[in-house]
Amino acid sequence: MKFRRSERLIDITHYLLEHPRQLVPLTFFAERYGSAKSSISEDLAIVKETFEQRGIGTLQTVPGAAGGVKYFPRVNEHEARQFIANLCDQLENPERLLPGEYLYIMDLLGNPQIVHQVGKLIASAYAGAEIDAVMTVATKGIPIAHAIAAHLNVPVVVVRRDSKVTEGPTVSINYVSGSTKRIQTMVLAKRSLKEGSKVLLVDDFMKAGGTINGMISLLAEFNATVAGIAVLVEAEYNEERLVEDYISLMKLKDVDIRQSAIKVVEGNYFTKNISFL
Amino acid sequence: MKFRRSERLIDITHYLLEHPRQLVPLTFFAERYGSAKSSISEDLAIVKETFEQRGIGTLQTVPGAAGGVKYFPRVNEHEARQFIANLCDQLENPERLLPGEYLYIMDLLGNPQIVHQVGKLIASAYAGAEIDAVMTVATKGIPIAHAIAAHLNVPVVVVRRDSKVTEGPTVSINYVSGSTKRIQTMVLAKRSLKEGSKVLLVDDFMKAGGTINGMISLLAEFNATVAGIAVLVEAEYNEERLVEDYISLMKLKDVDIRQSAIKVVEGNYFTKNISFL
């Protein structure tokens, strides 16, 4: 069965979107469509150009016998700025205010389109990094971690506050929560992370950085290393933060309970050296 | 700026994949590409044909002034069978055995490609249903719930075992766990589910159905109704189950601790009236 170019372009687009950062040999597509490799090369040139123009991502061609093509999700700067500005607006809604100056954000974390785009933005920032896994702490970070991992094509590892029978043997550590200075526990199933992994740490919210710092201590128990740190929202914090090099999409500047006012601005995302489309 | 057909097909494919079950007016694409609506209609006919042939999904065209096109994720039966058979094999690995006859499945739930496909299979089964939200209980069901919700384009609602300060006012219920007969608690943030919603209930594992039944009781507090029930794995259960009409991808037939043997077969997925591609 022969495929026309139009059909190939549609199927290649779908296939690459579902297999980011994975080397796909040209012969795979050539056999899939019964086409010459030269035709596939032309298809891929069209896909690459369109992906870049439309802010979808980019294709990297690896030459040689073991070569092929890799799709990297990437965003264009203008769209990323619009998306984050819109998220900031949503976060400033005073109805989100909860006692203790907490903000309700479960609706944002439960919205698949928002979570998907957050994942794409953060994955784009680590497009060039070597990452073996994305780690987060249950439960609010899980959707973001999965959205990032889907774009990086790596597994998600979920740390818990307590151990469960369905996890098997675990490694646990104690750490000091950054802002409240309380001793807390973190638990990770032993088999869930390979020794020596390079891990992207992710959370929905960071203030002093205690939770992230706890995950860093946990990594040490697995001889694993930090490949990056990314949070959806960081809070303004005047004391010394426990975590230095991180990416945040938004920054919570101020919460005024009496005025029912929340001030949210862009995080440090655009100050990082991200190669946008 | 004018777009060639090849570029339009790639961009339309990407756009539809990111906006399932959403009515996109033909004029949206016509303006996006500076093309005649007749050209867009031809593009969509090619996309529809290829999506159906390649097991991606289907397009539904809604005629008239308020019309447009909707993409529905769907799977083809052969691929779905292969995928589930492969999952069953993976689940039968005796290394998954934990004390108490529990199985370790965090690696499967942490694999974004597996989770994505599980979500697509379950969403396909509810392609024709009216669903306003997907609900699950923290924490293992969260990735599956998000994967389903992404394909259905509806929000995820996460029920917890205990309330947290970041959730605001909550509604809580007590329920009887099906197999252990213990009284347990479930908590849901009041603002996380609209009154009267039609909800798809999701979990990673079901034995007697106590957790699902707990979610059903919780729905009643929100005047919400069950739109469907889907689990990744159901366990063989000889007593009367608390839940009747559900979909399962796999069925755990038997766990033999002494022989270190696990028997997993297809769930009831293919006995349901699912319209495959």
Domains present along chain B, CATH in parentheses: 5-73 (1.10.10.10), 96-271 (3.40.50.2020)
Q: Which residue has the tokens 């159906």?
A: B52
Higher pLDDT, A241 or B189: B189
Confidence band for A1, pLDDT divided at 50, 70 and 90: low
Q: How far is Cα B67 from Cα A169, in angstroms, rounded to an integer?
A: 55
Residue A178 has pLDDT above 80, yes or no: no
Picking from A216, A227, A224, A159, the residue whose alpha carbon sits closest to that of residue A197 is: A224
- Going residue by residue through chain B (277 aa), what tens digit of pLDDT does each one get? 678 999 999 999 999 999 999 999 999 999 999 999 999 999 999 999 999 999 999 999 998 888 899 999 999 999 999 999 999 999 999 999 999 889 999 999 999 999 999 999 999 999 889 999 999 999 999 999 999 999 999 999 999 998 888 889 999 999 988 777 899 999 999 999 999 999 999 999 999 999 999 999 999 999 999 999 999 999 998 888 888 899 999 999 999 989 999 999 999 999 998 889 9
Picking from A69, A119, A17, A131, the residue whose alpha carbon sits closest to that of residue B120 is: A17
The pLDDT value recorded for residue A44 is 97
Angle between helices A5-18 and A26-33 (to 10 degrees): 130
The pLDDT value recorded for residue A195 is 96
Strands B261-266 and B133-137: unpaired
Interface of A with B in 203-262 (CB under 8 A): none
The pLDDT value recorded for residue B273 is 85
The pLDDT value recorded for residue B1 is 63
The alpha-carbon gap from A145 to the nearest alpha carbon of chain B, in Å, equals 10
Chain B positions in Cβ-Cβ contact with residue A51 (cut-off 8 Å): 10, 14
Confidence band for A129, pLDDT divided at 50, 70 and 90: very high
- Judged by CB atoms closer than 8 Å, whether chains meet at B166 and A106 is answered as yes
Tell me the average pLDDT of chain A.
Answer: 95
Q: Which residue has the tokens 């947290």?
A: B164
Residue A179 has pLDDT above 80, yes or no: no
Mutate to test the interface with B, among A21, A106, A161 (most CBs of B within 10 A): A106
On whether the CB atoms of residues B215 and B133 are closer than 8 A, the answer is: no
What percentage of chain A reaches a pLDDT higher than 70?
100
- Judged by CB atoms closer than 8 Å, whether chains meet at B112 and A150 is answered as yes
The pLDDT value recorded for residue A126 is 95
The alpha-carbon gap from A63 to the nearest alpha carbon of chain B, in Å, equals 24
- Model's pTM, two decimal places? 0.97
ipTM, two decimals, is 0.96
Please give the average per-residue pLDDT across A22-38, as a whole number.
Answer: 96
Can you tell me whether residue B132 is helix, strand or coil?
coil
- Judged by CB atoms closer than 8 Å, whether chains meet at B10 and A50 is answered as yes
Confidence band for A163, pLDDT divided at 50, 70 and 90: confident
Please give the average per-residue pLDDT across A247-263, as a whole number.
Answer: 95
Please give the average per-residue pLDDT across A137-153, as a whole number.
Answer: 97
- Reported for B246-249, long-range contacts at CB under 8 A and 24+ positions apart, including other chains, are B246/B206, B246/B209, B246/B212, B247/B122, B247/B125, B247/B272, B248/B206, B249/B84, B249/B87, B249/B118, B249/B121, B249/B122
Chain B positions in Cβ-Cβ contact with residue A106 (cut-off 8 Å): 158, 166-167, 189, 192
Task: For residue A143, give the nearest of B106, B142, B154 by CB distance.
Answer: B142
Picking from A216, A209, A217, the residue whose alpha carbon sits closest to that of residue A177 is: A209
The pLDDT value recorded for residue A15 is 98
Higher pLDDT, A242 or B139: B139
